[in-house]
Amino acid sequence: MKLFPAVDILDGRAVRLLNGRRDAVTDYGSPIDRAVEWAQKGARRLHLVDLNGAFGDGNNVDVIARIVRETGLPVQVGGGIKNADAAAYYLQDAGAERVIVGSAIVLDPDAADAMCARYGAKIIAGIDVKDGAVAVKGWVQKTQMTALQAAFAMKERGCDTIVYTDIGRDGALSGVNVSATAKLGEDSGMNVIASGGVSDVDDLEKLREAGVFGAILGRSIYVGNIDLRSAIARFEEGQCSQRG
């Protein structure tokens, strides 16, 4: 199972939000320092979220580009990627390996078409669910679309990977939604990366046993519930040559 240490960036700072709320933020200092820390602990890839991009009040492309340069790790980036030009900022200007497209799946299917046509496998579907429905615009607007509908919409465009976030568990250390994550992978036939609620190695073990492709590690590694170096040794042994 692949592990994705996370660095969420807001106003140039590394932060963690509770349930995606901007008014419930914990500051963890320099995002460069956090990314380098995870790299030094053996991370093989990083998950970066540009929260300013998600909230629609700027971006952190320069910070992300520096993280790519200083860690040398492949990164996947999400947050406000609504069209092909925005995807280009991260893929070409910042050097990201893949970008995560979320709101456009629902709000602008033509833009999602264009991004997938232009960048193919570099596009990951970001499916964020709140109370059973896909949520968009930085998780503040619920839609009528289900996670599986969103997954099939992106699969038809050639996408093979999903980052699935249970918003109600994100940043809460409340335990990952193993059943919903695994079911989405089984029903869609896509690789699913679990996001939101991973609290300890028991959660990781449950995800691995359920056949989940990967897991994003956020607050759990920031507060020390999961030792990243040990988790990598336990869950990624034999995956040294894999990227993405």
Q: In order of start, what are the domains of the chain with their CATH numbers?
A: 2-235 (3.20.20.70)
What pLDDT does residue 172 have? 47
DSSP state of 93: I
Residue 241 pLDDT exceeds 60: no
Q: Which residues are catalytic?
A: 8, 128
- Choose among 69, 68, 143, 148: nearest CA to 77: 68
Torsional sign, CA 119, 87, 89, 69:
negative
> What confidence tier does 193 reach under pLDDT thresholds 50, 70, 90?
very high
Residue corresponding to tokens 């520096």: 66
Weakest mean pLDDT among 128-132, 151-155, 156-160, 225-229:
128-132
- Mean pLDDT in residue range 25-35: 95
pTM: 0.90
Residue partners of 6: CB distance under 8 A and separation at least 6: 46, 47, 48, 49, 216, 217, 218
Residue entry with tokens 């990314």: 35
| CA–CA gap between residue 119 and residue 113 (Å, rounded) | 10
187 token code pair: 């029903």
Closest residue by Cα to residue 191 from 166, 212, 221: 212
Residue 238 pLDDT grade (very low, low, confident, very high; cuts 50, 70, 90): very low
